[in-house]
């Protein structure tokens, strides 16, 4: 059921059930972070491998010490600058976080979401909420209640409808190597904005074999339709003249009369707007019976870096 009733959602979570909730980034599949049985349900429901840990959502920075310890100064600096908001911090975890949440790591990923409904839920609960994105593992993340319903129509008791997600792309994840900050996942807050707060971050590169955050490397955020990602859309299109093609473009349509499915991410060339529209555009293209989707590389600055990272992953073959 799609609903705006927060009390119903509170009740389900108290009974160890899982529901979909809105956040400012993407919709989450939520359960009591202190309950092993709720967390098991999340992993089963999403068909998510148990080695891929979840993000724990808390109501405010004051709650941080209830779930994490040995918190570096730079973590507080970032939390003060960006919470509530799309920043996730990976910190040493306290015992009350079940091992299944953190995939048996000694760290936990935490954030304060910036969505009035998510915050209202947390204010009514005496436990934090664990929530991965509300999509089957590896597929495009949902940025509206309808996207969630399309994936899990009759399987969820409640999809809490908080409208379209304001940011549209997952949180940026920062962890620590000792006191040194490390970027685990590009997201809604640009790398530049993080570095303005705390100086340079260590990056986990694509060549790292054993990534701390699986989201950094594998095929992810992928449509069912085969997708190509390119600097040169015109050249690529020539190779597929007999196919139904859909285009995912930054700022303007291309003059191909036979290509009717063209999604523009921001007519004003605004990267924040492009991020907000990205997944919804991918969902629409994926539901348009196309043979292939061709996505254009965006300017590699600010959130353009994040968007390009997501598109690259979505177009990987495996």
Binding residues for Mg ion, rule: CB under 5 A, are 133
Tokens found for residue 165: 């997600």
Interaction of residue 55 with ligand TXA, rule CB under 6 A: yes
Of 184 and 250, CB closest to ligand TXA: 184
Interactions with ligand TXA, residue window 239-298 (CB under 6 A): none
Interaction of residue 186 with ligand TXA, rule CB under 6 A: no
Of 35 and 133, CB closest to Mg ion: 133
Tokens found for residue 22: 């809105």
Q: Shortest Cβ distance from residue 240 to Mg ion (Å)? A: 29
Q: Do residues 233 and 245 lie in contact, with contact meaning Cβ atoms separated by under 8 Å? A: no
Of 23 and 266, CB closest to Mg ion: 23
Contact segment (CB under 6 A) with ligand TXA among 52-60, 68-76, 189-197, 255-263 equals 52-60
- Distance, CA of 191 to CA of 154 (rounded, Å): 39
SS3 111: strand
* One of 31, 53, 84, 85 touching ligand TXA (CB under 6 A): 53
The stretches of the chain forming alpha helices (DSSP H) are: 6-14, 36-46, 64-67, 73-82, 116-123, 145-152, 191-198, 233-238, 271-286, 303-314
Residue whose token pair is 């605004």:
270
Interaction of residue 139 with ligand TXA, rule CB under 6 A: no
Tokens found for residue 56: 């724990």
CA 194 to chain centre: 17
Q: Shortest Cβ distance from residue 78 to ligand TXA (Å)? A: 14
Q: Shortest Cβ distance from residue 245 to Mg ion (Å)? A: 27
Of 211 and 261, CB closest to ligand TXA: 211
The per-residue DSSP string of 283-307 comes to HHHHTS--SEEEEEPPPSSTHHHHH
* One of 97, 173, 265, 294 touching ligand TXA (CB under 6 A): 173
Q: Shortest Cβ distance from residue 49 to Mg ion (Å)? A: 12
Q: Shortest Cβ distance from residue 65 to ligand TXA (Å)? A: 17
Of 52 and 288, CB closest to ligand TXA: 52
Q: Which string of x and - marks every residue 89-128 that binds ligand TXA (by CB under 6 A)?
A: -x-----------x--x-xxx---x---------------
Residue 246 burial (C-beta neighbours within 10 Å; 0-12, 13-18, 19+): buried
- Distance, CA of 21 to CA of 32 (rounded, Å): 13
Residue 157 burial (C-beta neighbours within 10 Å; 0-12, 13-18, 19+): middle
Q: Shortest Cβ distance from residue 96 to ligand TXA (Å)? A: 15
* One of 31, 85, 98, 215 touching ligand TXA (CB under 6 A): 215
Q: Do residues 170 and 187 lie in contact, with contact meaning Cβ atoms separated by under 8 Å? A: yes
Binding site for ligand TXA (CB under 6 A): 23, 25-26, 28, 52-55, 86, 88, 90, 102, 105, 107-109, 113, 131-133, 170-171, 173, 175, 184-185, 212-215
């Amino acid at each position: 059921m799609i609903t705006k009733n927060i009390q119903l959602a509170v009740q389900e979570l108290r009974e160890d059930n899982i529901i979909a909730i809105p956040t400012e980034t993407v919709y989450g599949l939520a359960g009591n972070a202190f309950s092993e049985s709720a967390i098991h349900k999340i992993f089963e429901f999403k068909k998510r491998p148990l080695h891929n840990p979840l993000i724990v959502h808390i109501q405010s920075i004051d709650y941080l010490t209830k779930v994490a310890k040995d918190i570096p100064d730079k973590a507080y600096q970032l939390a003060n600058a960006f919470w509530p908001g799309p920043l996730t911090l990976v910190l040493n975890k306290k015992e009350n976080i079940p091992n299944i949440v953190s995939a048996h790591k000694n760290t936990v990923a935490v954030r304060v979401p910036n969505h009035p409904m998510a915050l209202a839920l947390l204010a009514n609960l005496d436990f934090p909420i664990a929530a991965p994105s509300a999509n089957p593992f590896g597929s495009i993340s949902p940025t509206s209640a309808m996207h969630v319903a399309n994936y899990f129509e009759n399987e969820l008791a409640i999809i809490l409808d908080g409208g379209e997600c304001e940011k549209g792309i997952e949180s940026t994840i920062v962890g620590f190597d000792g006191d040194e900050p490390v970027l685990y996942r590009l997201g809604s807050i640009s790398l530049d904005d993080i570095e303005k707060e705390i100086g340079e971050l260590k990056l986990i590169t694509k060549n790292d074999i054993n990534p701390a955050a699986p989201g950094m490397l594998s095929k992810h955020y992928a449509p069912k339709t085969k997708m190509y990602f390119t600097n040169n859309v015109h050249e690529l299109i020539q190779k597929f003249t007999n196919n139904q093609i859909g285009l995912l473009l930054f700022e303007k349509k291309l003059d191909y009369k036979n290509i009717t499915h063209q999604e523009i991410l921001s007519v004003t060339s605004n990267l924040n707007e492009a991020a907000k529209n990205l997944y919804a555009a991918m969902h629409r293209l994926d539901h348009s019976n196309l043979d292939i989707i061709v996505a254009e590389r965006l300017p590699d600055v600010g959130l353009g870096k994040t968007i390009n990272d997501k598109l690259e992953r979505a177009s990987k073959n495996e």
